[in-house]
Amino acid sequence: MRIAIVNDMPMAIEGLRRVIESAGIHQVAWTAFNGHEAIDACREDVPDLVLMDIIMPGMNGVDTTREIMRMSPCPILLVTSSVNTNSALVFEAMGCGALDAINTPVLTGNNAYGSQAPLLKKIAMLSILTQPGPLGSQSHFNIAQPRKVSLVNGSLVAIGSSSGGPQALATILQSIPDDFDSPIVIVQHVDVQFAHGLAEWLSTLSNIPVRIACDGDRPVAGTVFLAGSDNHLILAENGTFHYSPIPRDTPYRPSVDVFWQSLEQHWKGRITAILLTGMGRDGAKSMLSLRQSGAYTIAQNEETCAVYGMPKAAVDLDAAIDVLPIDDVVNALLKKR
């Protein structure tokens, strides 16, 4: 991959350059010390990936991400030492189209090598996600088996999202009434270290409680559950949430497809499946299967997506019953109550 680095610290740029080149398969496309330089550089030379800092003088990482995605769209990974103390900015940048976020690795000293491995792993994952290829060229989940009798019933809302997702999720949860009588389960592509922060951020905006789905929990009406692991969230036959490392080869962790497949197998009641903004194809095949099983399915429309990847894949498969602007999704949900 040709990778660009945006950071106002020369030492950080040089350290990240060494990490990138140490893999032996990537090269640095260009570097920028501030947002304005990055926007200009991206306009002239669109890289395969941008490593973007959040806190920079003048134009911060949020505004820079927004402008790059508007003018020269490309994959952006937030790499910053201030993630935990600036989680709202991280999620805002992800709402503008950044794919994911990771803490800046230790760049020097005895712990440098081990600290750099997660960044290289994240880059490798994004390399897979951003590769062009025919829709459905690879399936990362098993074909759903016929539904089995389960202990769970009633209605459930399942939401899948990726790049741009946090802001889209905030828009939906701000409009959900406090008497909403179905559980909502969200699978958002986000690194596990930021899942709790995302749940806390969404809970400040939501009219109903938002929390991480834990092993053994059951979907509860009027509660929002967020997948909170690098393993896949699934609904077991007994109606409880569990996390599974299988399938291991999917680049999407947690995977929308894996969770939605488990719903088709084990949720006895009504399902509404919503696929929001995001890069890639995760959720498209399982949405089609859910629609064929009687679920109500919604894809976010292109005009309101930060990245029209996952919803487009669903639309191309004719998996979505409705294709709606993000502001109309809740109204559609309420009509189906």
List, by residue number, the catalytic residues: 162, 189, 282
138 vs 249: CA distance, rounded Å: 10
CA distances from 46 to 18, 40, 64, 75, 162 (A): 21, 10, 14, 10, 21
Tokens of 273: 């499946």
300 vs 324: CA distance, rounded Å: 5
Tokens of 98: 């950044």
130 vs 55: CA distance, rounded Å: 26
Q: Which amino acid is at 295?
A: A
Tokens of 25: 């398969």
Confirm if 235 and 266 have CB atoms less than 8 A apart: yes
180: helix, strand or coil: coil
Question: CB-based burial of residue 287 (10 Å sphere; 0-12 exposed, 13-18 middle, 19+ buried)?
Answer: buried
Bridge partners (DSSP) of residue 273 are 158, 297
Which secondary-structure segment (H or E) carries 76?
strand 76-80
Instruction: Output the CA angle 307-309-312, nearest 5 degrees.
Output: 120
Which distant-in-sequence residues (6+ apart) come within 8 Å of 117 by Cβ? Answer: none
Tokens of 37: 């330089």
Report the residue count for the chain: 337
Bridge partners (DSSP) of residue 300 are 324
